[in-house]
Amino acid sequence: MKEIKCTIIQDLLPLYVDDVVSEDTKELVRQHLQTCQACQKEHQQMTQTLYIPIENKVTLFEKVNKKWNRKKIILIGGSIFTTLFLCLAVFSYVFYYQKMIPYSNDLFVIKEQDDQTLFAEYFGKSHAGTHMTHPMKVEIDGEMKNISLVYYVETIANSPTRNFLREDESIGPEQFTLPDSKTVDAVYYGKFDLEKVIITKEQTWEELLQEMTLIWER
């Protein structure tokens, strides 16, 4: 037994530490270790440098993994999703949630020009956009009239590309000629959803125009 070379024992040591050797080999190594200082040192180093046996490694890893994975995926996944959702919600709210700028006499003024086109002037603060229709033939009180609808909208940030940092400044007056306005009989200001009137018929023209403000009539 004592003739076994140290090199052989040291070759066996990793397996011995991993506890994957037969009982006979184990006994052999144990006996050698008791008598050989060199191999003892080698063995000590192996066990001291956090040498985790393969089997334990696996279970430890699995344990850590199980705990981590479930909690981590739920927590991190959850918070990433929540964060993304909140960012998107805030972003949409700030840039895309549109509110109508309410009408007042000094907000939006229409004047007929000599060539019968309609000249519009907007005196309000910076806005996020205009909703405007081309003239539409609508029956009002039994009379066919050509009307245009218009309203301005604002968002918290207003236009993302301009006026971002000066949303409270007046930009006016903004001036333009209404599209195809020579034939327009009346212009209404107010929020409108033409889909409701024309396609789904949830609202009649009378109902819609009652909610709007007549701001100009020929």
Binding region for Zn ion (CB under 5 A) out of 32-40, 71-79, 120-128, 158-166: 32-40
Nearer to Zn ion, 6 or 54 (CB): 6
Element (H, E) at 59: helix 54-72
Element (H, E) at 111: strand 108-112
Using CB under 5 A as the binding rule, whether residue 73 contacts Zn ion is answered as no
Q: CB of 47: closest distance to Zn ion in angstroms? A: 16
Using CB under 5 A as the binding rule, whether residue 132 contacts Zn ion is answered as no
Contacting Zn ion (CB under 5 A), which of 28, 39, 187, 215?
39
CA angle 102, 210, 191 (to 5 degrees): 35
Binding region for Zn ion (CB under 5 A) out of 33-41, 102-110, 150-158, 187-195: 33-41
Distance CA 45, CA 155 (A): 69
Q: b/e per residue, 26-48, with b = 16+ CB within 10 A?
A: eebbeebbeebeebeeebeeeee
Q: CB of 38: closest distance to Zn ion in angstroms? A: 5
Contacting Zn ion (CB under 5 A), which of 15, 17, 21, 36?
36
User: Which is nearest to 125 in space by CA: 58, 172, 178?
Assistant: 172
Footprint of Zn ion on this chain (CB under 5 A)? Answer: 6, 36, 38-39
